[in-house]
Amino acid sequence: MEAEFLETMVLTFKLAAVTTVVLLVISIPLAAFLAFSNMRFKSIIETIVSMPLVLPPSVLGFYLLLAFSPSSAIGSFLTEHGIRLAFSFEGLVIGSVLFSLPFMVHPIQSALSQMPPSLFEAAYTLGKSKMETMIRVILPAIRHGVISGIVLAFAHTVGEFGVILMIGGNIPGETRVASIAIYDEVESLNYTMAHQYALTLFVITFSILLLVYTLNKKSLEGLK
């Protein structure tokens, strides 16, 4: 029982960590595009990024499940190359990335759009490339936005239920994460185990959020 509990908790945080890292990598360029571009189709991309905020998780899960199934075009292409996404950890990562995307993109985007244009321009007139300006000037200046994005995306992935249930099912060690396990234990009237999962999630997420907000507040005060 203990081993199974530990396995589930490790999987839960592994999924959240992998999802957060993937999100961080794709969200910074995406947020920069949304904050600074004035292309015509920008609002379409903005809408797609924000969709998971209002869309029922089961809708996203359902379509992902269809896309992943070997009978679909994407699914059969993936199967030919030996990749199975439905009911696998990799599939969960894709689902969580899509579902937590706005939680990472929005804080970074709003921090970026508050940056005065002269900050970029000053770096350019000092001979710095766009890339160097972004890494050395802008990212440090918006770090509170990035940290908020990391925390929200991580916490949101830990708490995700609907998408995972649809595309991952409940395979121990592969797709069985804590939120699914709680549901499962309650179903089989095992309230003790449900409590153990629930309380652990509660305490861990509370501590992470508290720690990050405290640190973030301190680092922001240093800038004043």
Partner 1 sequence: MISVNVTKELSSAEGVLQAFFELEIESGEFLTLFGPSGAGKTTLMRLIAGLETPRSGTIMVDGEIWFDSDKKINLTPQKRSIGFVFQDYALFPTMSVRQNLLFAAQTQEERLYVETLLEMTELQSLSHRLPATLSGGQKQRVALARALVRRPKVLLLDEPLSALDPLMRQKLQDEIALFHQKLGITILLVSHDIAETIKLSHRLAAVEAGRIVRVCPPMEFFARHKLSGKLQLVGEVLKVEFEMPVAIVTLLVGSSVVQAVITQEEGKNLRIGEHALIAVKAYNPIVLPLTR
222 makes contact with partner 1 (CB under 8 A): yes
Q: Is residue 131 involved in binding partner 1 (CB under 8 A)?
A: no
SS (H, E, C) the chain: CHHHHHHHHHHHHHHHHHHHHHHHHHHHHHHHHHHHCCCCCHHHHHHHHHHHHHCCHHHHHHHHHHHHCCCCHHHHHHHHCCCCCCCCHHHHHHHHHHHHHHHHHHHHHHHHHCCCHHHHHHHHHCCCCHHHHHHHHHHHHCHHHHHHHHHHHHHHHHCCCHHHHHHHCCCCCCCCCHHHHHHHHHHCCCHHHHHHHHHHHHHHHHHHHHHHHHHHHHHHHHHC
Nearer to partner 1 (CB atom), residue 82 or residue 127: 127
217 forms part of the interface with partner 1 (CB under 8 A): no
Give the shortest CB-137-to-partner 1 separation in angstroms. Answer: 5
* Shorter beta-carbon distance to partner 1: residue 120 or 161: 120
Size of the site for partner 1 (CB under 8 A): 20
The answer to whether residue 144 forms part of the interface with partner 1 (CB under 8 A) is no
Shortest Å distance, C-beta 28 to partner 1? 16
Identity at 183, one-letter amino acid code: Y
Q: Are the CB atoms for 25 and 33 separated by under 8 Å?
A: no
Q: Which is nearer to partner 1, 86 or 112 (CB)?
A: 112
In angstroms, give the least distance from the CB of 133 to partner 1.
10
Binding mask 89-128 for partner 1 (x = CB under 8 A): ---------------------------x-xx-xxxxxxxx
When asked if residue 38 is in the footprint of partner 1 (CB under 8 A), the reply is no
* Residue 23 C-beta: closest distance to partner 1, Å: 23
In this complex, which beta carbon is closest to partner 1, that of residue 82 or of residue 116?
116
Nearer to partner 1, 100 or 133 (CB): 133
Which tokens hold the place of 90? 């990799």
Sign for the pseudo-dihedral over CA of 103, 108, 111, 116: negative
Contact residues toward partner 1 (CB under 8 A) are 116, 118-119, 121-129, 136-137, 140-141, 143, 222-224
